[in-house]
Homo-oligomer: A and B are copies of this chain.
Amino acid sequence: MQGLGVTGGVGLAYGAMSTLGLAPATAAAPRRFQAPAMGDLIGQAPGSQSIVILGGGPAGLCSAYELRKAGYDVTVLEARTRPGGRVYSVRGGTTETDLNGETQTCTFSEGHFYNLGATRIPQSHITLDYCRELGVEIQPFGNQNANTVVHYKSDTSISGQSVQYRAAKADTFGYMSELLNKAASMGALDDVLSPQDKEALASFLSDFGDLSSDGRYLGSSRRGYESEPGAGLNFGSETKPFAMSEVIRGGLGRNFSFEFGYDQATMMMTPVGGMDRIYYAFQEAIGTDRIRYGAEVTAMRNVPDGVTVEYTQDGRARSITADYCICTVPPNLVGRFANNLPADVLTALEAAIPVSSGKLGIEYSRRWWETEDRIYGGASNTDKDISQIMFPYDHFGSDRGVVVGYYNTGKRHLAFESLTHRQRLAKAVAEGTAIHGDKYGRDITSSFSGSWRRSRYSEGAWVGWKGAGDSHGGAATPEYTKLLEPVERIYFAGDHLSNAIAWQHGAFTSARDVVTALHQRVALS
For the complex, is A96 an interface residue (Cβ under 8 Å from B)? no
With A and B bound together, what is the CA distance between A176 and B123 in angstroms?
Answer: 27
For the complex, is A192 an interface residue (Cβ under 8 Å from B)? yes
For the complex, is A196 an interface residue (Cβ under 8 Å from B)? yes
Partner of A249, one of B137, B200, B222, B497: B200
With A and B bound together, what is the CA distance between A208 and B256 in angstroms?
Answer: 7
For the complex, is A504 an interface residue (Cβ under 8 Å from B)? no
> Do residues B231 and A513 form an inter-chain contact, with CB atoms below 8 A?
yes
For the complex, is A450 an interface residue (Cβ under 8 Å from B)? no
> Do residues B176 and A176 form an inter-chain contact, with CB atoms below 8 A?
yes
With A and B bound together, what is the CA distance between A126 and B370 in angstroms?
Answer: 12
Partner of A481, one of B124, B223, B233: B233
Proximity bits, A494-525, B CB within 8 Å = 1, else 0: 00011110000110011011000000000000
Proximity bits, A372-406, B CB within 8 Å = 1, else 0: 00111110000000000000010011000000000
Proximity bits, A241-267, B CB within 8 Å = 1, else 0: 000110011010110110011100111
> Do residues B248 and A204 form an inter-chain contact, with CB atoms below 8 A?
yes
Give the chain B neighbours of A123 by CB distance below 8 A: 145-147, 374-376
Give the chain B neighbours of A173 by CB distance below 8 A: 260
Interface residues of A in 162-202 (CB under 8 A from B): 166, 169-170, 172-173, 176, 179-180, 182-184, 186, 188-189, 192-194, 196-197, 200-201
> Do residues A266 and B269 form an inter-chain contact, with CB atoms below 8 A?
no
Q: Looking across the interface, which residue of chain B has its beta carbon closest to that of A228?
A: B124
Partner of A396, one of B179, B189, B269: B269
> Do residues B139 and A139 form an inter-chain contact, with CB atoms below 8 A?
yes
> Do residues A260 and B166 form an inter-chain contact, with CB atoms below 8 A?
yes
Give the chain B neighbours of A147 by CB distance below 8 A: 123-124, 265, 267
> Do residues B231 and A506 form an inter-chain contact, with CB atoms below 8 A?
yes
With A and B bound together, what is the CA distance between A92 and B493 in angstroms?
Answer: 48
Give the chain B neighbours of A476 by CB distance below 8 A: 233
For the complex, is A55 an interface residue (Cβ under 8 Å from B)? no
> Do residues A179 and B169 form an inter-chain contact, with CB atoms below 8 A?
no
For the complex, is A280 an interface residue (Cβ under 8 Å from B)? no
For the complex, is A117 an interface residue (Cβ under 8 Å from B)? no
Give the chain B neighbours of A260 by CB distance below 8 A: 146, 166, 169-170, 173, 222
Give the chain B neighbours of A232 by CB distance below 8 A: 484, 497-498, 510, 513
Q: Looking across the interface, which residue of chain B has its beta carbon closest to that of A236?
A: B499
For the complex, is A66 an interface residue (Cβ under 8 Å from B)? no
Most B Cβ at <10 Å: residue of A189, A235, A260, A510: A260
For the complex, is A229 an interface residue (Cβ under 8 Å from B)? yes
For the complex, is A94 an interface residue (Cβ under 8 Å from B)? no
Q: How many A residues have CB within 8 A of the partner chain? A: 102
For the complex, is A363 an interface residue (Cβ under 8 Å from B)? no
Partner of A222, one of B142, B234, B261: B261
For the complex, is A157 an interface residue (Cβ under 8 Å from B)? no
Give the chain B neighbours of A481 by CB distance below 8 A: 233
Interface residues of A in 446-490 (CB under 8 A from B): 472-473, 476, 481, 484
Proximity bits, A213-228, B CB within 8 Å = 1, else 0: 0000000011111111
With A and B bound together, what is the CA distance between A338 and B481 in angstroms?
Answer: 84
Give the chain B neighbours of A186 by CB distance below 8 A: 188
Contact (A245, B497) CB under 8 Å given A229-B472, A396-B138:
no
For the complex, is A24 an interface residue (Cβ under 8 Å from B)? no
The smallest C-beta distance from A505 to any residue of chain B, in angstroms, reads: 8
Partner of A166, one of B197, B203, B225, B262: B262
Give the chain B neighbours of A505 by CB distance below 8 A: 230
> Do residues B189 and A497 form an inter-chain contact, with CB atoms below 8 A?
no
> Do residues B374 and A124 form an inter-chain contact, with CB atoms below 8 A?
yes
For the complex, is A30 an interface residue (Cβ under 8 Å from B)? yes
For the complex, is A140 an interface residue (Cβ under 8 Å from B)? yes
With A and B bound together, what is the CA distance between A184 and B257 in angstroms?
Answer: 21
With A and B bound together, what is the CA distance between A359 and B465 in angstroms?
Answer: 51
Could you jot down 21 A-B contacts, CB within 8 Å? Answer: A128-B376, A132-B370, A138-B396, A140-B140, A146-B265, A169-B260, A172-B204, A176-B180, A179-B180, A196-B249, A201-B248, A204-B248, A204-B254, A210-B257, A225-B262, A229-B472, A230-B505, A231-B493, A231-B513, A234-B499, A269-B376
3 A-B pairs with the lowest CB-CB distances in the bound complex, closest first: A183-B183, A146-B265, A188-B188
